[in-house]
């Protein structure tokens, strides 16, 4: 039985070098992209007698999706 050792071809070496170059270029450009800050949600005061359920926009949207 003959054992074959894996050999690296020039094509795979150049493909790997090209991949590394593309990744390096992409990572150097990405920090320049500025992330937009989302506005902070308004904090509502807690009710005096407990509970805390509020009919927010998110809840209203959920109710709209459950209607038949």
pLDDT in tens, 37-51: 767 777 777 777 777
Question: Per residue in 17-33, is it b (16+ CB within 10 Å) or e — as a string?
Answer: eeeeeeeeeeeeeeeee
Tell whether the model's pLDDT for residue 65 goes beyond 90.
yes
- Between 38 and 27, the more confident residue is 27
- Quick check: 43 and 53 in contact, CB under 8 A? no
**Predicted pLDDT of residue 64:** 92
Confidence check: pLDDT of 20 > 80: yes
Q: What is the pTM of this model?
A: 0.36
**First-to-last C-alpha distance (Å) of the chain:** 70
Contacts (Cβ under 8 Å, ≥6 apart) of 4: none
Choice between 57 and 7, residue whose per-residue pLDDT is larger: 57
């Amino acid at each position: 039985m003959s054992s074959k050792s894996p050999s690296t071809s020039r094509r795979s070496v150049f493909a790997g070098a090209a991949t590394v170059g593309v990744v390096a270029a992409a990572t150097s450009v990405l920090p320049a992209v500025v992330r937009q800050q989302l506005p902070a949600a308004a904090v509502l005061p807690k009710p005096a007698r407990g509970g805390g359920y509020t009919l927010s926009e998110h809840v209203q949207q959920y109710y709209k999706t459950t209607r038949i």
